[in-house]
Amino acid sequence: EVVLTQSPLSLPVTLGQSASISCRSSQGLVYSDGDTYLNWFQQRPGQSPRRLIYKVSNRDSGVPDRFSGSGSGTDFTLILNRVEAEDVGVYYCMQGTHWPFTFGQGTRLEI
Amino acid sequence: EAQMVESGGGLVQPGGSLRLSCVASGVNFSVYWMTWVRQAPGKGLDWVANINPAGSDKWYVDSVKGRFTISRDNAKNSLYLQMNSLRVEDTAVYYCVRRPRDLDYWGQGTLVTVSS
């Protein structure tokens, strides 16, 4: 099973500053179709998870361009620029390349 | 607008059974793999099972194999999860999600509580 290790697990930030979350995989995540199925999700308090970034760096429709994803191989990063109050929640990385698909432990972002 | 609505959760005793349903709209249900993902109270996200568009290929995580069965009815735009031999550790919110490899659309979830 692929293990995704997120860091930090808790991320206190100041409004307007930037934040970065790391996701390290125990295996490479390139699928046989050539794509890398490393995705990022946001879960606000009391809500269902919402996808932010798919296949490493593709931002979903409606997601502010303050969010960006990058990485390759086994190291991936989610960056939040100019953090706003609405960004509070838990962020998860997830790999959809190797079954069973797996999630990181989650990073709690707090203002 | 894409929407998935889960139902069927509730309180059940250990060893009991429950059937979850998910009705999808606006997501072209019949051509996509679907999945169930769960989240125990205060915990992270965990996989449960996937099913291909035809309903002929099903993947399960080890912890639910032999106890849970995923199925679908494309004519009704519906996804199901039959859960038998439920354990206390199955207590969670269960989410119906489209496209297991990248989980693009999520339902609001239905809470299953296994307790005596």
Q: What is the pLDDT of residue B27?
A: 79
Nearest to B36 by CA among B113, B76, B94: B94
Per-residue pLDDT of chain B (116 residues; tens, 9 = 90+): 788 999 999 999 999 999 999 999 987 899 999 999 999 999 999 999 999 999 999 999 999 999 999 999 999 999 999 999 999 999 999 999 999 898 999 999 999 999 99
Cα B75 vs. chain centroid, distance in angstroms? 18
Of B111, B99, B95, B98, the residue nearest B45 (C-alpha): B95
CB contact under 8 A, A37 and B102: yes
Give the H or E element holding residue B25: strand B18-25
pLDDT attached to residue B76: 95
What tens-digit pLDDT sequence spans chain A (111 residues)?
A: 999 999 999 999 999 999 999 999 999 999 999 999 999 999 999 999 999 999 999 999 999 999 999 999 999 999 999 999 999 999 999 999 999 999 999 999 998
The answer to whether the CB atoms of B102 and A106 lie below 8 A apart is no
H/E run at residue A69: strand A67-72
Q: Taking a C-beta distance cutoff of 8 angstroms, is the pair B20, B109 a contact? A: no
Query: Phi then psi for B61, rounded to 5 degrees?
Result: -75, 155
By Cβ distance, the residue of A48, A51, A60 closest to B107 is A48
Judge whether A51 is closer than 8 Å to chain B, CB to CB. yes
As a residue count, chain A comes to 111
Q: Which among A92, A96, A104 has CB closest to B102?
A: A96
B78 Cβ contact partners less than 8 Å away, ≥ 6 residues apart: B21, B22, B23, B24, B72
CA-based torsion, A80, A83, A85, A90: positive or negative:
positive
**Those residues with Cβ within 8 angstroms of residue A96's Cβ, 6 or more apart along the chain or in another chain:** A31, A37, A39, B100, B101, B102, B103
User: What confidence score (pLDDT) does residue B1 get?
Assistant: 76
Q: How far is residue B31's CA from residue B95's CA, in Å, rounded to a whole number?
A: 19
CB contact under 8 A, B103 and A99: no
CB contact B57 to A (< 8 Å) = no
CB A102 within 8 A of CB A93: no
Note whether A37 contacts B47, CB cutoff 8 Å.
no
On whether any CB of chain B is under 8 Å from the CB of A108, the answer is no
Torsion sign over Cα A41, B46, A94, B4: negative
- Side chain identity at residue B99, one-letter code: R
B101 CB within 8 Å of a chain A CB = yes
Tally helices (H) and strands (E) across chain A: 0, 11
- For residue B44, give the nearest of A97, A101, A106 by CB distance: A106
Q: Cβ separation of B47 and A48 shorter than 8 Å?
A: no
B22 touches chain A (CB under 8 A): no
User: Pairing relation of β-strands B10-12 and B110-114?
Assistant: parallel
> Coil, strand, or helix at residue B63?
helix
